[in-house]
């Protein structure tokens, strides 16, 4: 595994095996991203009782599906992408893949490093990560927190594995993961809600419902793309489309009032942060 001159990661030269436990929506998106980064399918083992057809089809290219864990042996990385609810039964079974050089990477929401350290059958280097749904199109953002035993090389490997579905940020303080969950983990739902409420408001302003829906959807998607491509921050982009005394300014006077979007979003993110704390284990 190397970093290309553009800074993008490639997994083409990876030594060792990557075991993916749970190849559902998120695990499947990661797998697709790894292969796009040049990972040899023969370097990947998928453990999933009912893999999707597109995952099963990769067996033709050398991907191993549900082989005997003993035959696989020590992996370079074990990526745990099952639902958090099944973690207590799945994580203790991973022993055959774990050796001195293995790093375990969990993307399970709410499952803490402490839980994983207790559930794993032996002490290993460990990273807890929180991705979000735009990972499905390679445009996610994932926040990762390592335990104390992750080596610099393992961190590079995990960074490359996570960067296959978008941007990656690292934090050292696991307590931040609750707020991370509330902002980027749950955040896509807030943006979809914005598209819904904008459509409803458009219909209330007299537009045919379907037209309002199309306008709202394209506006949220196009603005997101503009934000992605622009070097400007969101406030500068907002100011660029707001003429003093104009229509946008009239709406922003409402949205940016003291009882506008800011206190509402703060309240929403605080509620999600608290819920994440309550659910953590
Ligand atoms: N989706 C997101 O936006 C998102 C965001 C952040 C974090 N996450 C985390 O990502 C993880 C996966 O979520 P997801 O949305 O990808 O769920 P998912 O689509 O249900 O994927 C989980 C996969 O694990 C499989 N599985 C179940 N039991 C297993 C076992 N014993 N051994 C191996 N595989 C098993 C499931 O198979 P069956 O379907 O046959 O049960 C399924 O294919 C969750 O822990 C979630 O918290 C997801």
Decide if 65 contacts 55 (C-beta within 8 A): yes
Mention every residue, 6+ apart, whose C-beta is less than 8 A from residue 209.
199, 203
* Distance (Å, whole) CA 201 – CA 193: 12
**Closest C-alpha to ligand 1, atom 32:** 48
Residue 146: predicted pLDDT:
98
Residue 15 — very low, low, confident or very high, per pLDDT cuts 50/70/90?
confident
pTM score of the predicted model:
0.93
Give 31 Cα–ligand 1 centroid separation in angstroms. 13
Q: For residue 103, which of 129, 118, 125, 123 has the smallest C-alpha distance? A: 125
Q: How far is Cα 184 from Cα 186, in angstroms, rounded to an integer?
A: 6
Query: Does the pLDDT of residue 240 top 90, yes or no?
Result: yes
Q: How far is CA 278 from CA 110, 137, 198, 271, in A?
A: 9, 30, 32, 11
Determine the average pLDDT of the residues in 200-216.
Answer: 98
User: Does the pLDDT value for residue 4 go beyond 80?
Assistant: no
pLDDT tens digits along 118-149: 999 999 999 999 999 999 999 999 999 999 99
Give the span between the Cα atoms of 160 and 163, in whole angstroms.
5
Q: What is the pLDDT of residues 71-115, one digit of tens each?
A: 999 999 999 999 999 999 999 999 999 999 999 999 999 999 999
At residue 222, does pLDDT exceed 70? yes
Ligand 1 center from residue 147 Cα (angstroms): 23
For a ligand 1 pocket test, name from 33, 49, 116, 134 the mutation site with the most ligand atoms within 8 angstroms of its C-beta.
Answer: 49
d(CA 89, CA 169): 29
Percent of the chain predicted with pLDDT > 90: 94
For 105, counting Cβ atoms within 10 Å of its Cβ (0-12 exposed, 13-18 middle, 19+ buried), the class is buried
Of 57, 55, 1, the closest CA to residue 23 belongs to 55
Backbone φ and ψ for 124, nearest 5 degrees, come out as -140, 165
Res 176: pLDDT: 98
Rounded Cα–Cα distance for residues 130 and 143 (Å): 5
Residues touching ligand 1 (Cβ under 6 Å) are 21-27, 47-50, 81-84, 86, 90, 107-109, 130-133, 185
Measured in whole angstroms, the distance separating CA 238 from the mean position of its chain's CA atoms is 27
Quick one: which atom of ligand 1 is closest to the CA of 90?
31
Ligand 1 atom nearest the C-alpha of 109 is 47
Burial class (CB in 10 A: 0-12, 13-18, 19+), 218: exposed
Cα first-last separation, the chain = 33
């Amino acid at each position: 595994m190397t970093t290309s001159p553009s800074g993008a990661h490639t997994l083409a030269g990876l030594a060792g095996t990557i075991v993916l436990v749970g190849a559902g929506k998120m695990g499947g998106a990661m797998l697709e991203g790894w292969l796009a980064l040049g990972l040899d399918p023969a370097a990947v083992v998928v453990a999933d009782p009912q893999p999707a057809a597109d995952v099963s089809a990769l067996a033709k290219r050398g991907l191993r599906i549900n082989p005997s864990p003993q035959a696989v042996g020590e992996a370079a990385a074990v990526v745990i992408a099952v639902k958090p609810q099944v973690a207590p039964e799945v994580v203790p079974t991973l022993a055959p893949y774990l050796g001195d050089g293995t790093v375990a990477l969990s993307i399970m929401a709410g499952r803490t490093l402490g839980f994983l350290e207790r559930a794993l059958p032996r002490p290993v280097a460990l990273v807890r990560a929180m991705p979000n749904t735009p990972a499905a199109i390679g445009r996610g953002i994932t926040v990762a927190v390592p335990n104390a035993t992750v080596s610099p090389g393992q961190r590079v490997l995990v960074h490359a594995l996570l960067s296959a579905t978008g941007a990656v940020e690292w934090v050292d303080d696991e307590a931040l993961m609750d707020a991370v969950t509330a902002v980027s983990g749950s955040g896509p739902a807030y943006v979809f809600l914005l598209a819904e409420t904008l459509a409803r408001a458009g219909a209330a302003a007299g537009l045919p419902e379907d037209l309002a829906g199309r306008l709202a959807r394209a506006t949220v998607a196009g603005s997101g793309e503009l934000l992605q491509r622009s070097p400007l921050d969101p406030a500068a982009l907002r100011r660029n489309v707001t003429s003093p005394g104009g229509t946008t300014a009239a709406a922003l006077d409402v949205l940016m009032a003291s009882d506008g979007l800011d206190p509402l979003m703060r309240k929403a993110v605080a509620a999600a942060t608290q819920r994440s704390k309550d659910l953590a284990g």
